[in-house]
């Protein structure tokens, strides 16, 4: 559906060249929910705006549905954009129009007949759950309701691709989850290809099939969300994972543990994915490697339909036994983060 080849974007500012994107290669398949995560200034917003040519790439190609949009004329691009919907962080609704009027706007621009517009708007209002707010104005809506209007407006012309630019960043956590559920429902119903940019790993965890981690204008890591959680390869990927997996250990425990011998005492955070969450790995480790553990914290969440657990514990024993125990955990596909080794 979307293929990006060697994309580069360079800005000229005060006689200086600023590289926003460099050597970007991506393939996004039909019906996929694809996430792009990065810190502010990493280039993610520039990248997604290149997908509908709101930003013109300096070089490279962007092929959407077998058509290179970087080579289209102004008229051709205007038509192509009808196939690419976009929702924004700050909603961008027309304050003088009702919910119905906002959703109808792109259909009016497209020249659709009034009767067909009314029918389509009714369908969309029902789809996004705003039946009781159809005649309300944006000022009368909550943030989540405004974003639902933005989603309905973005898909009004039956696009093939939906771009989501920090679509949940302005929302509280509960509302964010409801919007993500709506996007997943739309994806399932319509088979719509979605590209989300975000700086929140919670969003990636809940909705995306694959994810690209972008850093300083380049793709630092790319893979399925499960791969990112189970086998992160880069420092920046580890940093983002801490948003949803890291447990804050009380300072008094860290201080007490830091005074112990690092060869015989370790404080660890373990991450379990899929079937390892239900296997008695820790029990078997204790039995076979002659070590003592003390569990400080544990929890199980889900990455879409896959269980994902974290466990914080201390390990004490002979150095060789601890080394063998950690090797055993890795052999069982458990990711280990040493929080502190002691002295």
Instruction: For residues 72 and 76, give the distance between their C-alpha atoms in angstroms, rounded to a whole number.
Output: 6
- 125: its two tokens: 């209002």
pLDDT at 342 over 80: no
CA gap 259, 45 in Å, rounded:
46
Look up the CATH superfamily of 248-340: ACT domain (3.30.70.260)
Instruction: Please report, rounded to a whole number, the percentage of residues in the chain having pLDDT higher than 70.
Output: 99
Rounded Cα distance between 285 and 194, Å, is 43
Count the helices and strands in the chain (H runs, E runs): 12, 14
- Could you identify the residue written with the tokens 């920090």? 166
Any idea where the domains of the chain sit in the sequence? 2-243, 248-340
Q: Per residue in 138-161, pLDDT tens?
A: 999 999 999 999 999 999 999 999
Q: How far is CA 204 from CA 213, 240, 265, 276, 287, in A?
A: 11, 10, 35, 22, 37
pLDDT band for position 45 (50/70/90)? very high
205-230 pLDDT, tens per residue?
Answer: 999 999 999 999 999 999 999 888 88
Instruction: Summarize pLDDT for 255-296 with one digit per residue, the tens.
Output: 777 778 888 888 898 988 887 777 888 999 998 999 999 888
For residue 281, what are the CA distances in angstroms to 189, 230, 284, 291?
39, 16, 5, 13
Instruction: Indicate if the alpha-carbon torsion angle 210, 43, 26, 168 is positive or negative.
Output: positive
pTM score, whole prediction = 0.86
What are the start-end ranges of the E strands in 159-205? Answer: 161-165, 193-198
DSSP E strands in the chain: the ranges are 2-13, 16-28, 33-37, 59-64, 67-68, 84-88, 161-165, 193-198, 210-215, 218-224, 265-273, 292-303, 306-316, 335-340
Question: For residue 38, what are the contacts with CB-CB under 8 A and spacing of at least 6?
Answer: 44, 197, 199, 213, 214, 215, 236
Assign domain 2-243 to its CATH superfamily: P-loop containing nucleotide triphosphate hydrolases (3.40.50.300)
């Amino acid at each position: 559906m979307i293929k990006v080849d060697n994309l580069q974007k360079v800005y000229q500012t005060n006689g200086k060249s600023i590289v926003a994107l460099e050597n970007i290669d991506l393939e996004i398949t039909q019906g996929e929910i694809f996430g792009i995560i990065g810190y502010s200034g990493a280039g993610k917003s520039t990248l997604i705006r290149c997908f509908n040519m709101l930003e013109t790439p300096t070089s490279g190609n962007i092929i959407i549905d077998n058509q290179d949009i970087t080579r289209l004329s102004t008229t051709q691009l205007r038509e192509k954009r009808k196939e690419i919907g976009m929702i924004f962080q700050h909603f961008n609704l027309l304050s003088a129009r009702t919910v119905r009027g906002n959703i109808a706007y792109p259909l009016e621009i497209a020249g659709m007949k009034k009767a067909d517009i009314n029918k389509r708007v009714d369908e969309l209002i029902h789809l996004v759950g705003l039946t009781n707010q159809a005649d309300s104005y944006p000022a009368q809506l909550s943030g989540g309701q405004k974003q639902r209007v933005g989603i309905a407006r973005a898909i009004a012309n039956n696009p093939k691709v939906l771009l989501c630019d920090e679509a949940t960043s302005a929302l509280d956590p509960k509302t964010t989850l409801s919007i993500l559920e709506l996007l997943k429902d739309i994806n399932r119903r319509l088979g719509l290809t979605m590209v989300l940019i975000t700086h929140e790993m919670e969003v990636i965890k809940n909705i995306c099939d694959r994810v690209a981690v972008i850093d300083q204008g380049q793709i630092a890591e790319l893979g399925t969300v499960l791969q990112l959680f189970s086998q992160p390869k880069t420092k920046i990927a580890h940093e983002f994972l801490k948003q949803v997996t890291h447990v804050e250990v009380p300072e008094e425990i860290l201080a007490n543990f830091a005074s112990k011998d690092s060869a015989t005492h370790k404080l660890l955070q373990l991450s379990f994915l899929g079937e390892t969450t239900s296997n008695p790995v820790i029990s078997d480790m204790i039995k076979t490697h002659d070590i003592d553990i003390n569990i400080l914290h544990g929890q199980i969440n889900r990455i879409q339909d896959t269980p994902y657990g974290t466990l914080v514990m201390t390990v004490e024993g002979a150095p060789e036994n601890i080394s063998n125990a950690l090797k055993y955990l890795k052999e069982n596909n458990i990711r280990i983060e040493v929080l502190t080794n002691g002295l």
